[in-house]
Structure 1
């Protein structure tokens, strides 16, 4: 199944340039504005409390005015594939039906919620998390091809456990069908759309990337997996389907096989031709490193005594955790924060596709958002700032001079490896949020 899109170009008259609070349509679904919460790790698990946890995480953004809220990576299979502790699985019909209060709560505030579908492949916990590997010794690791040399070297050094099962052609079709079945379950539960995690080193990126994909069958063309995945979803639901797609322009020196910015633009064009309803182009690396969350080295998080046991469990010992911390420090030097770091890439894509382009990564001020809309993108998303300000949209939509309180310190992200919730723990940031709350900055007309 293929879909023809009709997204009219923005008028050249500057008076008609879209504003953040203007509505936008994605795959036939009208969003009340162009601000979205990007997928984050809600650490909601897969149990009787999951719906309540997800609702408490996602509802504040919708109540504060976000047009779209993206639920973080949900794993399409019942075993394996989790890239971090606490991820939610959506393989079971009855369980997913029980998530209906989440879209109900978001919709009650006028927002819409998409769920991000994921499988970690060679980024999964069975590869990098020592404690998880020990508890699940027989769990298969899924790989697109034989692992590349840097991962095999890390295995020999004992830093990773790389002993995967390379997917056969039939198994690839089965995996795509699992994405489709998960999308159908979520649509039946009331979710308004589906977001395919095609970046951040999950298995979809591993199909797309020449660093990982050295197959000799039809899926040697990584875009072929997008086609099959799309068809599997469309067999089960017509809900809007969007994809985050990668450029691997921050790959370390010496990695010759990787996705260039030109490759990313071509992938976005192909996704639009296939029928995806929007694309989110992002630049990163071939590894799961600081280029995903650019900013400061999270020194406070690595030094926090509360998380040391969790780090030791994740990385195999306290001294190995210190090695990971050192590598994190080195990466941070190469992955310094850049405002709106995907803007140029998104602008190139927007010139070539007729579907909405979603920009995320390093957007922190309303004034910058107003400049980007209609130029580089059609929607603007933020991630980590929501850890600091769950009701951030209220400020951004109301104040043309608003800027987030997030300091890009990344102390919210690293503890997630230890199984801890992703929340802001930076005292100065929390103090500023408290001041703003006392001044009523997070109140909306809906709640007045």
Structure 2
């Protein structure tokens, strides 16, 4: 095995909770759309987790919904009820091969769903404002009692994640889902305690964090992480701007969370709204965090040199999304001085070997088009997403 001095991402890390990870490489949460209709886990998913685990320090799962009206797409995992615990327990075990730590991402999709997915029910959000996207349905504004119930649902999901044997949860406050919808002035037009000023728009997220932390204190008999994932900017007007995010991050650094995970399609992206500002957003965020929380950076990182560039900028963790689908043994090959064998393309002939189901592949190809580096198809220009939202946000 090669020396770990060449790449600092091979060094271990200990979180403030006491959880130790063997290296700084993370598999970010990636949709695989391969669960049963009711949200329970399939044997296909368990096989996928086993194939892709074992090398990385931290494996963050595809998202699971915490409320029945929080489902965002077909084939999504659910953690709404104790009946899912046997499957979730198998899932945690499958993700924890060879010392990899397993984090379960949880969310509520809010308005980023539709009445077809919700079997006839109307979507819900902070306010009755439709998303600016094709065929978006107008959601129903949540009542105060319903908001409190969703916060409780996040807490119950945390308890189940602890019982199932996960090493942590990640709150999905990115990619325009409900946690982000409450923070966004586009989707949150409320005038009560849940909306209005930047501070009031933080209230929902802070209450969710507080409830999840209470459950960790009550039920966890081992170090257990609470992570928070966010998208730094929106392009809608009104929408989240970098000044809002930096203020939010300053508040998040004082909350009982263990890390911040910044969701972008390109790790070095600059502002979506201010083309004159050429400083990468991740560096602005790092400066604001000022060492108070570990940071995970993600976005089109593929080669060991790409990952080391992120580490050299002072980030704590680097996540490889689509590259880990193509190459489950990325870490092992780097450790064994076998970088020449790392696969940077994916062949449709290898999907079964990689544990990628037809449902997941269809999701990837429809959503990400050419961004998968399919071996016998035209490739995409990574530079397209330096200054704009990518279809592969967070991977």
TM-score w.r.t. the length of structure 1 is 0.68
Larger Rg: 1
Q: Does 1:276 align with 2:244?
A: no
Q: What CA distance in whole angstroms lies between the structure 1 residues aligned with 2:30 and 2:333?
A: 20
Per-residue CA distance 1:276-304 (angstroms, 9 max, x = gap): 11001235xxxxxxxxx5xxxxxxxxxxx
Equivalent residue for 2:52, pick from 54, 58, 61: 61
Q: What CA distance in whole angstroms lies between the structure 1 residues aligned with 2:34 and 2:359?
A: 16
Task: Measure how far apart 1:386 and its partner are.
Answer: 2.4
* SS in structure 2 of the partner of residue 115 of structure 1: strand
Report if the CA contact (8 A) 2:40-2:87 is conserved: no
Q: What CA distance in whole angstroms lies between the structure 2 residues aligned with 1:192 and 1:356?
A: 16
Report if the CA contact (8 A) 2:53-2:328 is conserved: no
Q: What CA distance in whole angstroms lies between the structure 2 residues aligned with 1:102 and 1:425?
A: 28
Residue of structure 1 in register with 2:187 after alignment:
212
Q: What CA distance in whole angstroms lies between the structure 2 residues aligned with 1:190 and 1:419?
A: 33
Q: What CA distance in whole angstroms lies between the structure 2 residues aligned with 1:413 and 1:104?
A: 21
Per-residue CA distance 1:339-376 (angstroms, 9 max, x = gap): 64379222222223211000001212211221221524
Q: What CA distance in whole angstroms lies between the structure 1 residues aligned with 2:215 and 2:70?
A: 22
Q: Which stretch of the first structure deviates more once superposed, 222-231 or 256-265?
A: 256-265
Task: Measure how far apart 1:397 and its partner are.
Answer: 4.1
Which structure 2 segments of 5+ residues have no match?
Answer: 218-223, 271-278, 347-357, 378-395
Q: What CA distance in whole angstroms lies between the structure 2 residues aligned with 1:206 and 1:49?
A: 26
Q: Does 1:355 align with 2:293?
A: yes
Report if the CA contact (8 A) 2:268-2:282 is conserved: no
Report if the CA contact (8 A) 1:84-1:417 is conserved: no
Residue of structure 1 in register with 2:202 after alignment:
223
Q: What CA distance in whole angstroms lies between the structure 1 residues aligned with 2:125 and 2:362?
A: 27
Residue of structure 2 in register with 1:439 after alignment:
none
Report if the CA contact (8 A) 2:40-2:77 is conserved: no
Residue of structure 2 in register with 1:237 after alignment:
216
Residue of structure 1 in register with 2:374 after alignment:
426
Q: Does 1:405 align with 2:344?
A: yes
Residue of structure 1 in register with 2:129 after alignment:
147
Q: Does 1:161 align with 2:151?
A: no
Q: What CA distance in whole angstroms lies between the structure 1 residues aligned with 2:246 and 2:117?
A: 37
Task: Measure how far apart 1:104 and its partner are.
Answer: 2.2
Task: Measure how far apart 1:115 and its partner are.
Answer: 0.6
Q: What CA distance in whole angstroms lies between the structure 1 residues aligned with 2:366 and 2:5?
A: 46
Residue of structure 1 in register with 2:269 after alignment:
341
* SS in structure 2 of the partner of residue 69 of structure 1: strand
Q: What CA distance in whole angstroms lies between the structure 1 residues aligned with 2:80 and 2:326?
A: 31
Per-residue CA distance 1:398-417 (angstroms, 9 max, x = gap): 4496665148xxx9978329
Q: What CA distance in whole angstroms lies between the structure 1 residues aligned with 2:374 and 2:99?
A: 31
With over 3 angstroms needed to count, the CA separation of the structure-2 counterparts of 1:87 and 1:146, relative to structure 1, is same
Report if the CA contact (8 A) 2:39-2:77 is conserved: no
Report if the CA contact (8 A) 2:27-2:60 is conserved: yes
Q: What CA distance in whole angstroms lies between the structure 2 residues aligned with 1:102 and 1:414?
A: 20
- RMSD over aligned Cα atoms: 3.3
Residue of structure 2 in register with 1:265 after alignment:
246
Residue of structure 2 in register with 1:174 after alignment:
149
With over 3 angstroms needed to count, the CA separation of the structure-2 counterparts of 1:247 and 1:413, relative to structure 1, is farther
With over 3 angstroms needed to count, the CA separation of the structure-2 counterparts of 1:132 and 1:173, relative to structure 1, is closer
Report if the CA contact (8 A) 1:246-1:259 is conserved: no
* SS in structure 2 of the partner of residue 243 of structure 1: strand
Q: What CA distance in whole angstroms lies between the structure 2 residues aligned with 1:394 and 1:48?
A: 32
Per-residue CA distance 1:241-289 (angstroms, 9 max, x = gap): 001112225x1xxx43122223222222211211211001235xxxxxx
Report if the CA contact (8 A) 2:301-2:320 is conserved: yes
Equivalent residue for 2:33, pick from 36, 43, 58: 43
Q: How many residues align?
A: 339
With over 3 angstroms needed to count, the CA separation of the structure-2 counterparts of 1:275 and 1:262, relative to structure 1, is same
Equivalent residue for 2:107, pick from 105, 108, 118: 118
With over 3 angstroms needed to count, the CA separation of the structure-2 counterparts of 1:150 and 1:352, relative to structure 1, is closer
Richer in helix (by share): 1
* SS in structure 2 of the partner of residue 279 of structure 1: strand
Q: Which stretch of the first structure deviates more once superposed, 34-43 or 395-404?
A: 395-404
Report if the CA contact (8 A) 1:247-1:281 is conserved: yes
Per-residue CA distance 1:56-105 (angstroms, 9 max, x = gap): 12222322x1101111111111x232222200111111312432122223
